[in-house]
Structures are given as C-alpha cells and as structure tokens.
C-alpha cells in the first residue's frame, strides 16, 4: 500500500493551511487505496537552508535536515497544501523542498492550493519546482478560493464540489505513486 504525505506548506501564524490539511486528510482517510499522513513543515522548524553541501550529495550535517529527510523518504507520494503568496508558493515551503533532493525523486504529487483566485498561480509555480526534482505532478488539482470556500476568509467551508475534486486528485495520485514505485524498485535493482 502506498504511503502518501499531506504536506502543510505554510508556517504563518493564523494560517488556513492547517485546517485545509486536516480536511484533506479526513477525506483521504476514508479511502482504502493508500495510507495518508499529515506532515506539517512547521513541526520541523527548518531554518533557511543551512547545509554546507548541496542536497544532491545526500550528506546532511544538521539534525533538522536528517529528521526532515527521514520523514520525506517514507512516502511514495505527496499532497502539497499551499497558499498563494505573490503569485507563487510561500518561502517556507520552497525552503523545505530545497533541503532535500533524492527523497523527492520519482514520486508523485497532487496539489491543493488556496488564495483569492484559488491558488492557481501557486500551483503552477510548484509544478515547475517539482519537475526539477523528478516529482510527477498529477493533472487534477484542488483550488480553494478565499472568497467562496471560506467564511470571513478564515473559516474553511468548502463548496460541495470540492470533496469530489479531492478524490479526483487522489485517484490520480495513488495510481501514479504506484507506477513510480515500480520505477524506484528498478533503480534500486540496478544500483
């Protein structure tokens, strides 16, 4: 069974991402095709990237990097929950991604974005980053609008159609995670 990490990509006090992450996890946990775990980057207290070596070297010297590496390596795929900040993703999420390299490779990702326009520009920015890390992002995504899926811009009240959007994204994500698991197994056999 595939292990999927649902990564909360904001560390801002009062963030909406935590409620969205819990909502996605609740929907995902009703499924029997994968195991889902909520991962909050705020819990890892990652400073600005501070490793002396590039992540591509895989030689981590800091305890926080080792803990983050161990957690991300456990997963076959990811759901990134990201707000849109200035037409992109938050610096904290980019920083967390940049700490690692091989732990992301040949895995699948789905995106749940949110913002005034449904987070679409953050999703597109994230897709560019994931491509460089050999993460296959699925087409189906969830876009939550602060205007229509939240009460007073702070209380999550997703439209009825949004649960179906989460399931559509998860259907693709689980399938792609299984396919890429095969790729990783072949790479291990040839190493």
Residue pair 102/130 in contact (Cβ under 8 Å)? The answer is no
Give the C-alpha separation, 44 to 8, whole Å: 11
In the chain, the domains with their CATH numbers are: 2-190 (3.40.50.360)
Q: Which residues are CB-contacts of 175 (< 8 A; sequence separation ≥ 6)?
A: none
pTM higher than the cut 0.95: yes
HSE-CB for 113 with a 13 A CA cutoff: 26
Kindly report, residue by residue over 110-168, the tens digit of the pLDDT. Answer: 999 999 999 999 999 999 999 999 999 999 999 999 999 999 999 999 999 999 999 99
């Amino acid at each position: 069974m595939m292990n999927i990490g649902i990564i909360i990509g904001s560390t801002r006090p009062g963030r909406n991402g935590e409620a969205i992450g819990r909502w996605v996890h609740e929907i995902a946990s009703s499924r029997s095709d994968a195991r889902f775990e909520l991962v909050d980057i705020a819990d890892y207290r990652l400073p600005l990237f501070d490793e002396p070596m590039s992540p591509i070297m895989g030689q981590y010297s800091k305890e926080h990097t080792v803990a983050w590496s161990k957690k991300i390596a456990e997963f076959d795929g990811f759901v990134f929950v990201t707000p849109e900040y200035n037409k992109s993703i938050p610096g904290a999420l980019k920083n967390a991604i940049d700490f690692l390299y091989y732990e992301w490779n040949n895995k699948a990702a789905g995106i749940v974005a949110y913002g005034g326009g449904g987070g679409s520009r953050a999703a597109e920015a994230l897709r560019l980053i994931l491509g460089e890390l050999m993460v296959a992002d699925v087409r189906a995504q969830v876009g939550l609008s602060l205007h229509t899926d939240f009460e007073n811009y702070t209380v999550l009240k997703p439209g009825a159609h949004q649960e179906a959007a989460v399931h559509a994204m998860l259907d693709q994500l689980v399938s792609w995670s299984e396919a890429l698991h095969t790729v990783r197994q072949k790479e291990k056999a040839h190493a």
